[in-house]
């Protein structure tokens, strides 16, 4: 019996998320208001609120700079192409989380040293067409990083 062919790689184009940008902006404003209400000194309050605003703006900016294309394989391999045209081959980490409207892909770049941190990409449902988001979740949830010896097509004895 011939071995089963793995499914073709899934290619999805990721777009910036308005939902995530609004959520980050609301959280930033709420945090700044909380700091404004709880801090007594005007100088301290101004510094803290400025830092909170800067961190919030950076987060919204990073959300708009998400990778352009993901090529995901059922073997838990991903090629990430950024908006500047660079492509990086990676392996999906076990910490990846797949949900109904939010998916967090955690990957380790090929050739990464042991001390280099894993990278992550947050994908909200509005970043992809509905069918692509469903397919991506299936690939991430049910893909395998190594062939399972029990499904090799050879009868067990």
Residue 1 lies inside a defined structural domain of this protein = no
Mean pLDDT of 131-150: 77
Residue 154 pLDDT exceeds 50: no
82, 136: one domain: yes
User: Which of the listed residues 31, 47, 64 is the one where a domain comes to its end?
Assistant: 64
Q: Which pTM value belongs to this model?
A: 0.75
Residue 156 lies inside a defined structural domain of this protein = no
Domain count, the chain: 2
Percent of the chain with pLDDT over 90: 55
56, 95: one domain: no
Q: Could you report the per-residue pLDDT of 111-123, keeping only the tens digit for each?
A: 889 898 999 888 9
Q: Which domain holds residue 126?
A: 10-15+67-146
SS3 at position 143: coil
59, 91: one domain: no
Residue 3 CA: distances (Å) to CA of 35, 55, 118, 149: 61, 51, 33, 11
Residue 2 pLDDT exceeds 70: no
Quote the pLDDT of residue 3.
Answer: 65
73, 54: one domain: no
Residue 3 lies inside a defined structural domain of this protein = no
| DSSP line for 18-65 | HHHHHHHHHHHHHHHHHHHHH--SHHHHHHHHHHHHHHHHHHHHHHHT
46, 75: one domain: no
53, 84: one domain: no
Instruction: Report DSSP state, residue 87.
Output: E
Q: Could you report the per-residue pLDDT of 63-72, keeping only the tens digit for each?
A: 877 778 999 9
Q: Could you report the per-residue pLDDT of 69-86, keeping only the tens digit for each?
A: 999 988 889 999 988 889
129, 74: one domain: yes
């Amino acid at each position: 019996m011939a071995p089963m062919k793995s499914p073709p790689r899934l290619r999805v184009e990721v777009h910036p998320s308005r939902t995530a940008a609004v959520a980050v902006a609301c959280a930033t404003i709420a945090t700044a208001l909380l700091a404004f209400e709880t801090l007594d000194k005007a100088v301290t309050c101004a510094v803290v609120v400025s830092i909170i605003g800067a961190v919030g703006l950076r987060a919204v900016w990073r959300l708009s700079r998400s990778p352009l294309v993901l090529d995901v394989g059922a073997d838990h391999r991903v090629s990430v192409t950024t908006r500047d045209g660079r492509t990086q081959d990676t392996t999906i980490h076990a910490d990846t989380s797949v949900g109904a409207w939010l998916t967090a892909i955690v990957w380790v770049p090929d050739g990464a040293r042991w001390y280099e941190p894993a990278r992550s990409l947050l994908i909200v449902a509005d970043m992809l067409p509905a069918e692509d988001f469903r397919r991506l979740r299936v690939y991430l949830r049910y893909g395998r990083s190594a062939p399972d010896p029990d499904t090799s097509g050879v009868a067990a004895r």
